[in-house]
Amino acid sequence: MTGSSRQLLAAVARTIREHDLARPGDTLVVGFSGGADSTALLHILSCLPGLPLNLVAAHLNHGLRGHDSDQDQQFCRLAAERLSIPFETGTIDVAAAARHLRCGLEDAGRRVRMQFLEEVRLRHCAAAVALAHHADDQAETMLMRLLRGAGPAGLAAMRIRTGRHQIRPLLYLSRIQIERYLSDSGLAWREDSSNHDTRFLRNHIRHRIMPLLEKTSPSAGRHMSSTAQLLADDNHLLDTLAQAEFDRLARCSAESIVFDVQSLAPLHPALTGRIIRLAYGKLTGNLLNLTSCHINSIRNLLDDGPPNRVTPLPSSLNARREYGRLVVARNRPLAADPGEVHITGCGRFKLWDGLFLTVEEYSDNPRRYPGDYSSVVIDQDQVPFPWLARTFQPGDRFQPGGMRGTKKLKDLFIDLKLPLEQRRRIPLLLSAGRLFWVAGIRLGGPAAAASPNCRPVTVRLESPPPID
């Protein structure tokens, strides 16, 4: 082994220790395509000084190149056997997967490969999957994402550790260093002819754009890789700050995440954007299809303007401004019109949304019922049976207590800052076509039991008891 190879092994071992990628005795699954990079990775990890590891070589046959793909698989099997490393393999039709996933071959190949590697990791109870990406890959990834309009998180490109179970021990090495190691160690590898197909964006960048950049600046790739690392560090700091603010401000449920606008709006736009991404990711499990346009549309909801504004989002979500609240939520199917319920006298009547209306005779001295209007005392002489329970209709008017005339029910809802979703489901009680109770909200003046000679009834709006 040459001096440069020993230095490279020492550098990789140092990287693994400094970033806590693996510890002595850990089991790692190595993504092994048979190409130059993964061949070097498997060999390097098998002989790291002072860092013994248990390795599993995992190869996925993509089935795209017929006999050549089968030859790649056989090459990888023999290479693993020579190193006495357990070998796992699988075969998948990537073209069919691309059609099923509705994405390109390159993206489909990456997705099914990562799924396969994770399945192998779980089967072997391995600490992580080791991937063979290096500094040149990092520069290419950064440029790809720049061309697609990525922000700082995207331009940070690949991390040396992704989540808990993906590591990239060679990320700080160049392609030239890796190829020199292969040559010095007398290692053969397989060349994938598709790596030269410039119809794929990465190959176009690798074989055409990067050589042009390096003619202008021979260190372009190294500088881009360094910039990606700086961006990764800054991005980690911003993510940490955003997570702290999200934990402080967000009220989360399975269906929605709610923020107070007065608390969220003053934050720096970069921070609010990340908080919005966290909300979206918490509800969907990923950030697929969420773009800067969506983020800007949600930020616009924080500005002063009409209440009850809505912006649609991918993955069947929406963001809406409800007066002083910003709500990111799953789209709820439009509820069917609950229709009408006739209240004929005393009894218990089922309404909608799990609500019940109970009407009982009132035996004590008639009085206004104190509280929140979920239970009221009503003069049935003023509002005789039968009553009608229904939901809001345009043009509904209401006479609040202490007011001689009527006002639009819509204006009452606006005064109370009730969200649209809530307005559409509130039970309204009418007698002879006259609205006398906005259930749980307001009682009309004429309906209140006030005179000593009235015939009062107690009316309660009830939710079903919780199920233990």
Look at domain 250-330 and name its CATH class. Answer: alpha beta
Contact 16, 169 (CB under 8 A): yes
The answer, yes or no, to whether residue 417 has pLDDT greater than 60, is yes
Alpha helices in 83-200 (DSSP H): 94-101, 105-124, 135-147, 152-155, 175-185
DSSP three-state, residue 38? helix
pLDDT recorded at residue 402: 66
Helix (H) or strand (E) holding 11: helix 3-18
How does DSSP classify residue 445? G
pLDDT recorded at residue 367: 45
Separation between Cα atoms, residue 368 and residue 346, nearest integer Å:
19
Contact 53, 26 (CB under 8 A): yes
Contact 83, 43 (CB under 8 A): yes
**Nearest CA among 340, 331, 67 for reference residue 193:** 67
Any idea where the domains of the chain sit in the sequence? Answer: 3-230, 250-330, 341-462
Please give the structure tokens belonging to residue 330: 């799953």
Amino acid at 336: A
Q: Do domains 3-230 and 250-330 have the same CATH topology?
A: no
Separation between Cα atoms, residue 40 and residue 48, nearest integer Å:
12
pTM as predicted: 0.68
* pLDDT band at residue 342 using 50, 70 and 90 as cut-offs: very high
Q: What is the average pLDDT across 172-194?
A: 91
Separation between Cα atoms, residue 88 and residue 7, nearest integer Å:
30
The answer, yes or no, to whether residue 464 has pLDDT greater than 60, is no
Model confidence pLDDT, tens digit, residues 10-47: 999 999 999 999 999 999 999 999 999 999 999 999 99
How many CA within 13 A on the CB side of residue 106? 10
Separation between Cα atoms, residue 145 and residue 360, nearest integer Å:
68
pLDDT recorded at residue 369: 44
pLDDT recorded at residue 370: 46
Please give the structure tokens belonging to residue 84: 């006495």
87-91, 96-100, 149-153, 371-375: range with lowest mean pLDDT: 371-375
Phi/psi at 223 (5° precision): -65, -40
The answer, yes or no, to whether residue 371 has pLDDT greater than 70, is no
Alpha helices in 250-308 (DSSP H): 261-264, 269-284, 292-301
Identify the residue whose tokens are 């099914």.
Answer: 112
Model confidence pLDDT, tens digit, residues 119-159: 999 999 999 999 999 999 999 999 999 988 888 888 888 99
Model confidence pLDDT, tens digit, residues 47-58: 999 999 999 999
Helix (H) or strand (E) holding 74: helix 67-82
The answer, yes or no, to whether residue 192 has pLDDT greater than 90, is no
Please give the structure tokens belonging to residue 71: 């030859």
- CATH architecture of structural domain 3-230: 3-Layer(aba) Sandwich (3.40)
* DSSP states of 215-266: HH-TTHHHHHHHHHHHHHHHHHHHHHHHHHHHHHH-EE-SSEEEEEHHHHTT
pLDDT recorded at residue 199: 83
Separation between Cα atoms, residue 175 and residue 169, nearest integer Å:
13
Proportion of the chain above pLDDT 70, given as a percent: 94
Please give the structure tokens belonging to residue 344: 């004929």
